[in-house]
Structure formats: structure tokens, C-alpha cells
């Protein structure tokens, strides 16, 4: 709805129209929860009637109003129920209500088809929301999508009813035409899909509806209807009613009053965080590109608009150059401000000027002429433009702000980036992989989504320095994918006692007997050598703790080695052993 006039379809029970819509459900003799469930089941299944005779609801005016309130709340908070009128038939059954009949605008098969159409357009609208942005940015994206693509259609004069879907989300999203109820329900529908808490808000005094959203615990008003031009101007989007407080929306400029939510009292909206936000400076759509929001700012009436880029992360706007020829436009002595509309397609931001269409190449923010509408004199203006897919729709008027539409045309747009060269960088252990897409016609390029880093693939440990009894050693390994190396210390070796082959010897005369007794943990090895033949004939072992007697028959030398347990026969002498 617009500031001049708004229209809300009223519910009719037994075909009787009620002027007041804020009924007191609590005073009625109705199981509200049970009746709501019946309404839901009936509307989802496109059933012809709801039998409430078993609920024993007395047929009174108070209960009529309560049923109205429950049904109307259901339609306001469930935008998918666009296939019924805001009317009910509820005939009397004795002293109670019998069957309640919704008035459908479609058949069951038509409704099923229209639900698919709504889902397609819903996905298209949600695709306009950039990935990874804040909830405030999501609200901005949906607000601008609806105001940019939908057209406000005033209700017909007199008693003639409006088009059947202008008050629904289906009208706003699929048909592209809406009353205030259509904008409100479409916005509510999309916020639900984005997981953002949102309410349907209305004012009987104003005969108008809008929304409230909750961001970071605070409630804000959003009136998409009053931010769309009336009469509709292609591409024009205002931001005077985007995320504002109770105080601002009710001041002398915004003029909202006496509102309540569909569920009851509306929450307080006390936060002023966005009351003077950057978007107050523009009357054209705001577009997201490379993490920033692009908008046209006309700081005064004597200069052209400036393209600015706002970052939610830094909270700062950067100047991206002048939108050449974008106004203010003049006819005679009259100057008209902010007439250009922005439209993003590919890497080009198109905007209209009095005699044609220009664009900004977002790869370098250079300004170019795209279309010159030949034959226009100084008395005519190409003052409306909206980018719709691969084309631009524009209108020509006598003056920038008034006069009938003299021409309405559509021209094709160049996306520029319809074809890309690609360079793929594979992931490594140090960084993720990605693909660079470079336009084949211009210098624009962008990086695709990154893939995760790879895990290191290590070789087996290899000793680079041996450990000794006195010093530690080192071992190393490396990744076969990225050649990264890592090293570890090897501990010192544990010292082990060894025996050196230095025998204990003695010369024994023939006829003598000697005795060798091996101490515990020590093994004795002995040989008996003749002087005539010094070569060792036999080596005999005496185990630890054992005794061996040797009788010598010739003059010989007995050689003995004592080896402690854990030592080898070669090495340091453990002890000297005397022969008895």
C-alpha cells in the first residue's frame, strides 16, 4: 500500500462485513487451538468445509467475531494460503455452528500448480540473498528484491473488488503485482525461509499492513509497500521504511499509527541502529557485489549521482566514481533529483540517463554508454528502467516526474561475462584449492569457492644422526606432497658392560691339578696349551657358580677369560681370575 490509500480485504462471516478486525478471542467459547488445527488441515487439503458441530460452539455474535479473528490470523501468518478469499460461510446448526466453508479462488489441482509456481519464484528471490552475509543484509536484499520486481496496484475505485491475488504472496512474487497485504505476506514468507523471526503487522486506522523483524534481539519495522513508488516507477526503490524504530515510523514524516501484530500486541521497536543508515541516501535498488553493497548517492541537486560501495564489516562507504549524466535532470527551470535506477547484470551495473542507458564496468569502475534512444528532444526523458534478466525495460515520459508514458520498450543487455577462461589451482597441504574465472572479453575475474587443504603425507622416519652412549641422535621425515620436513631427537643409548679378550694365564707343571670356580654371573673360558704346540687345542666353558678341576699331564700354560653376564667374549676384561 501507499501513503495515499491502502486496502485490506476484510473477512465476511455469513456474508456480513465487519469493519473492526481486532476481535477478542478470549471472550469466546471456542477451543482456539483445536479450531486452528481444523483450519490448517482444511486449507492444506483444499477441503470444502470444516465440521465444527462436535465442538458445540454457541451461535453468538461474539463467537462469530472470534472465528473471524482465528481465520484471519491464519491467513495473515501463513502466506501459502493464497487460494482462499478473506471470507467464510458459517451457517447455523440448531443453537450452535455447524459447517464452516472457506471460499476458494482455485480448484485443488490449480492450487497444487500455483504452489509450485510460488516455490520457483521463492527460490529465485532467495537467490538474490548473498551467501555468508548478516541478517540485516538478508533483510536489505529481500526488501529491495520485492520493491524492485513487484508493482503496487492501487485497489479499484468504488465497490469493485481488487484482483484476487494482489493481497497475497503469490501476487507479489509470481504475478509481480500487489497491494500492501501482498508485499507484507511475501516478505513474511521469505523471512521464514531465511530463518529470521518476522511478524505481520497491521493498522485498522490506516487500513494498511507491513512487517516487523527481529535482528540480534531487537525488533524493527519494515514497510516494503511504502518504499515502492506510487505510481510504480521501474527500478525505483526507496529505503525510508527499512529497519526503523517505533519512534521514527510514527513521526510526522512516516505517519504510521495504531498498529498491532496478527498474533496480538506488537513488540516494541526501540533500537535506532538503522534509523540513519547509509541506505537512507538512495532511491534506487542497492546491489551486492564482491562483498560490498553498491548504491547511487546524490549529495546535492547540482551534481550527478555518485556510485558508492558500503561494507557491513567496516561500516564505511567508499566512493567508486560518478554516474555520468545521471542527474539532476532539468526541464526548463525545474530540476529533478535522483531519477536514475540501477540494475546489476553480470559484471555491469546499468543505469538510465535522460536520453539512454549507460553502465559501469565493475572490474575497473569505468563508465560507458550502452544505448542511445535516438529522436528524444529535450522535452522527453527516459526516466524509468528495470533490469529483468538479460534485458532492460524502460519508459519514456514528457517530464521526469509526471506525464503519461509515451513509450515502453525493452532492449537486450550484454552480460559481458557469459564466457570464462578458467585456471584451476589444486589444493596443497599449505592452502586450499580454487578456480579463477576470467572473462574472455574484459579484465574481470573472480575466484571460485575454495576446497579444503590436504593432509600431509609423511614418509617413514629415517635416522640422520645415530645416537651414542654420550650423545643423542636425530631422525627426519618429509611430506611427499609439499616437501615439508620435520625432525625428532633420538635418545642416548644405554651403556652395556663388555669384555676385552685379554686372558689371564699361568704356567702349570705336569702332574698338577688346578681348580677353576666361576663366580655368580660370570662365565669362565679356559684353554690348555703345550709349549711345544702353542696353538689352542680346546676351549672349555665353566658356567656361573660351577667348579672345574683340570689335571695337567705335561708342562702347559692355562689361559682363562672371565666374562660377566650380558657381556661378550670380546671386549674389556671384567676381572682378573687367579688360577689355584
Q: What is the pLDDT along the chain (580 residues), one digit of tens a residue?
A: 454 333 333 333 332 222 234 444 444 468 888 888 988 998 999 998 888 888 888 888 888 888 888 989 999 999 999 999 888 887 777 788 888 899 899 999 999 999 999 999 999 999 999 999 999 999 999 999 999 999 998 877 666 666 788 999 999 999 999 999 999 999 999 999 999 999 999 999 999 999 999 999 999 999 999 999 777 888 889 999 999 999 999 999 999 999 999 999 999 999 999 999 999 878 889 999 988 999 988 776 667 788 999 999 999 999 998 888 766 655 444 444 456 789 998 888 999 888 888 999 888 898 888 888 876 666 677 878 899 888 898 888 776 666 677 778 888 887 666 567 888 888 888 888 888 877 766 666 777 777 888 898 989 999 999 988 889 999 999 888 888 899 999 998 886 655 444 456 666 677 777 787 777 777 777 777 765 555 545 677 888 888 888 777 666 677 777 777 766 665 434 444 444 4
Which pLDDT belongs to residue 416? Answer: 64
Which pLDDT belongs to residue 18? Answer: 27
Kindly tell me the burial class for residue 341, based on how many C-beta atoms sit within 10 Å of its own C-beta (0-12, 13-18, 19 or more): buried
8 Å CB contact between 179 and 153:
yes
CA distance 204 to 44: 28
8 Å CB contact between 99 and 51:
yes
Which one, of 217, 148, 137, 156, lies nearest residue 183 by Cα? Answer: 148
Instruction: Name residues whose C-beta falls within 8 Å of residue 493's C-beta, 6 or more positions apart in sequence.
Output: 467, 468, 469
DSSP secondary structure, 444-459, as one string? -EEE-PPPPPPPP-BP
Which pLDDT belongs to residue 531? Answer: 59
Return the number of other C-beta atoms located less than 10 Å from residue 22's C-beta.
Answer: 12
H helix or E strand, kind and range, residue 101? strand 99-104
Q: How many CA atoms lie within 13 A of 29 on its CB side?
A: 10
C-alpha cell at 559: 689361559
What are the start-end ranges of the H helices in 150-199? 169-170, 180-194
Cis peptide before 231 (omega within 30 of 0): yes
Which residues pair with residue 410 across a beta bridge?
A: 393
Q: Is 457 left (phi over 0), alpha (psi -120 to 50) or beta?
A: beta
8 Å CB contact between 471 and 490:
no
List phi, psi (to 5°) of 288.
-90, 130
Return the number of other C-beta atoms located less than 10 Å from residue 464's C-beta.
Answer: 11
Dihedral (CA of 365, 369, 373, 377) sign: positive
* SS3 sequence of 214-279: EECCEEEEECCHHHECCCCCCCEECCCCEEECHHHHCCCCCCCCCCEECCECCCCCCCCCCCCCHH
C-alpha cell at 377: 528532444
C-alpha cell at 114: 500455483
Pairing status of strand 366-372 against strand 342-345: unpaired
Which pLDDT belongs to residue 299? Answer: 72
C-alpha cell at 547: 667348579
Question: 239 vs 244, 254, 276, 284, 545, CA distance in Å?
Answer: 10, 12, 10, 9, 105
CA distance 292 to 314: 10
The residue whose grid cell reads 542507458 is 357
CA distance 342 to 351: 5
CA distance 9 to 156: 13
3-state secondary structure of 99: strand
CA 25 to chain centre: 40
Pairing status of strand 16-17 against strand 12-13: antiparallel
Instruction: Name residues whose C-beta falls within 8 Å of residue 395's C-beta, 6 or more positions apart in sequence.
Output: 234, 382, 383, 384, 385, 405, 407, 408
CA angle 231, 237, 242 (to 5 degrees): 115
C-alpha cell at 531: 709349549
CA distance 580 to 562: 15
8 Å CB contact between 357 and 382:
yes
Amino acid at each position: 500500500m501507499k501513503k495515499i490509500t491502502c486496502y485490506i480485504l476484510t473477512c465476511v462471516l455469513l456474508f456480513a462485513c465487519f469493519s473492526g478486525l481486532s476481535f477478542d478471542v478470549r471472550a469466546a467459547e471456542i477451543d482456539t487451538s483445536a479450531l486452528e488445527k481444523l483450519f490448517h488441515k482444511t486449507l492444506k487439503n483444499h477441503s470444502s468445509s470444516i465440521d465444527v458441530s462436535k465442538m458445540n460452539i454457541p451461535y453468538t455474535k461474539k463467537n462469530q467475531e472470534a472465528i473471524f479473528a482465528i481465520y484471519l490470523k491464519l491467513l495473515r501468518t501463513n502466506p501459502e494460503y493464497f487460494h482462499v478469499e478473506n471470507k467464510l460461510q458459517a451457517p447455523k446448526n440448531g443453537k450452535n455452528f455447524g459447517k464452516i466453508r472457506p471460499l476458494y479462488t482455485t480448484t485443488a489441482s490449480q492450487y497444487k500448480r500455483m504452489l509450485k509456481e510460488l516455490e520457483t519464484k521463492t527460490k529465485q528471490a532467495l537467490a538474490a540473498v548473498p551467501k555468508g552475509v548478516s541478517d540485516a543484509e538478508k533483510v536489505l536484499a529481500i526488501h529491495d528484491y520485492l520493491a524492485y520486481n513487484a508493482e503496487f496496484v492501487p485497489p479499484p475505485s468504488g465497490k469493485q473488488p481488487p484482483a484476487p491475488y494482489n493481497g497475497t504472496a503469490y501476487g507479489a512474487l509470481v504475478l509481480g503485482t500487489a497491494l500492501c497485504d501482498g508485499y507484507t505476506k511475501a516478505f513474511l514468507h521469505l523471512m521464514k525461509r531465511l530463518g529470521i523471526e518476522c511478524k505481520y503487522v497491521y493498522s485498522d486506522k490506516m487500513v494498511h499492513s507491513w512487517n516487523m523483524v527481529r535482528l540480534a534481539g531487537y525488533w524493527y519495522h519494515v514497510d516494503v509497500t511504502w518504499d515502492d513508488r506510487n505510481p510504480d516507477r521501474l527500478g525505483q526503490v526507496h529505503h525510508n521504511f527499512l529497519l526503523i524504530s517505533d519512534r521514527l515510523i510514527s513521526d510526522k514524516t512516516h505517519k504510521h499509527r495504531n498498529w498491532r501484530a496478527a498474533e496480538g500486541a506488537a513488540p516494541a521497536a526501540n533500537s535506532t541502529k538503522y534509523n540513519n543508515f547509509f541506505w537512507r541516501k538512495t532511491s534506487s535498488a542497492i546491489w551486492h557485489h564482491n562483498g560490498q553493497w553498491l548504491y547511487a548517492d546524490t549529495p546535492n541537486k547540482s551534481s550527478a549521482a555518485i556510485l558508492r560501495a558500503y561494507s557491513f564489516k567496516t561500516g564505511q562507504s567508499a566512493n567508486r566514481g560518478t554516474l555520468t549524466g545521471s542527474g539532476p535532470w532539468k526541464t526548463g527551470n525545474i530540476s529533478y533529483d535522483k531519477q536514475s535506477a540501477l540494475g546489476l547484470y553480470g559484471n555491469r551495473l546499468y543505469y538510465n540517463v535522460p536520453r539512454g542507458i549507460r553502465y559501469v564496468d565493475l572490474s575497473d569502475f569505468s563508465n560507458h554508454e550502452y544505448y542511445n534512444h535516438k529522436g528524444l528532444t529535450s522535452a522527453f526523458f527516459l526516466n524509468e528502467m528495470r533490469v529483468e534478466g538479460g534485458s532492460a525495460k524502460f519508459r519514456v515520459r514528457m517530464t521526469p516526474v509526471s506525464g503519461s508514458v509515451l513509450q515502453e520498450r525493452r532492449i537486450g543487455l550484454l552480460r559481458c561475462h557469459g564466457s570464462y577462461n578458467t585456471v584451476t589451482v589444486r589444493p596443497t597441504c599449505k592452502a586450499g584449492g580454487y578456480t579463477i574465472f576470467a572473462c574472455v572479453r574484459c579484465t574481470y575475474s573472480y575466484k571460485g569457492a575454495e576446497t579444503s587443504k590436504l593432509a600431509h603425507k609423511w614418509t617413514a622416519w629415517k635416522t640422520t644422526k645415530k645416537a651414542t652412549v654420550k650423545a643423542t641422535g636425530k631422525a627426519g621425515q618429509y611430506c611427499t606432497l609439499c616437501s615439508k620436513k620435520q625432525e625428532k631427537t633420538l635418545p642416548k643409548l644405554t651403556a652395556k658392560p663388555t669384555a676385552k679378550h685379554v686372558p689371564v694365564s699361568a704356567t702349570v707343571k705336569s702332574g698338577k691339578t688346578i681348580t677353576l670356580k666361576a663366580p655368580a654371573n660370570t662365565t669362565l673360558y679356559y684353554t690348555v696349551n703345550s709349549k711345544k704346540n702353542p696353538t689352542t687345542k680346546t676351549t672349555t666353558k665353566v658356567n656361573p657358580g660351577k667348579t672345574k678341576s683340570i689335571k695337567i699331564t705335561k708342562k702347559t700354560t692355562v689361559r682363562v677369560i672371565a666374562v660377566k653376564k650380558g657381556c661378550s667374549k670380546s671386549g674389556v676384561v671384567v676381572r682378573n681370575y687367579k688360577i689355584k
